[in-house]
Structure 1
Amino acid sequence: MAKEKQLQQLQHIENKLRKLLTHYTEVQQRLAQAQEEIKFLEGLVEEKEQQIKNFQNQENIVKIVDTIAGNPANSTELKLKLNEYIREIDKCIAYLQD
């Protein structure tokens, strides 16, 4: 009788252990999915931040253009300066890509 009771207890423990391992595997899978989603969302946030920076740069360019349009005497000089800045920026970008 005592051996049967011990056997039942062992089977009960084994069943609980199997359930625990199954639950652990499921949790590990959900964790992996959550980590993938976090990486995806971080990439999205980074992309949106870059878009915001680009938008702010465009806004600054519009302000400069408005200034140029307001005073035709300085427009040629400002356009030349802008072109010079753009060339410098392009050089920096090319340097950083190498």
Structure 2
Amino acid sequence: MTNHPIDQKLVGLEKRIQELIKAYQSERSRNNQLEQTNQSLKAEVEGLQAKLTDFQNQYKIAKIVSSTTVEKDEAVELKNKLNEYIKEIDRCIAHLS
């Protein structure tokens, strides 16, 4: 009879350990999901930052072109040239990074 209370305590302890293992596995799975979500959000932020930079460059080009006193055809040509230069500079910067 003296082993009976000890056996009950061991069974209770085993149940508690199993519950803790399940909780740990659940939290580990949740953590992995959150890490994946975090990575995808970081990639999205980088993409949006690249788009923002592109839009800022386009705005600057438009501002430069509109401030010049050239004919409309020349302004379009100038804008296209500036766009090409900026894209080439961006490629060079990306390559250096």
> TM tier, shorter chain?
0.7 to 0.9
Aligned to 1:83: 81
Distance 1:14 1:92 in 2: 61
Could you report, residue by residue, the CA deviation over 1:26-57 in whole angstroms, capped at 9, with x for unpaired residues?
A: 00000000000000111111111111101100
1:72 is displaced (CA, Å) by 2.5
Please report the TM-score for the alignment, with normalisation by the length of structure 1.
0.76
Is 1:33 matched with 2:33? yes
SS in 2 for 1:72: coil
Count of residue pairs brought into register by the alignment = 92
Q: CA deviation at 1:90?
A: 2.5
* Greater relative contact order (CA < 8 Å, ≥ 6 in sequence): 2
Opposite residue 22 of structure 1, the aligned amino acid is: K
Root-mean-square deviation (CA, aligned residues, Å) is 3.0
TM-score when normalising by structure 2: 0.76
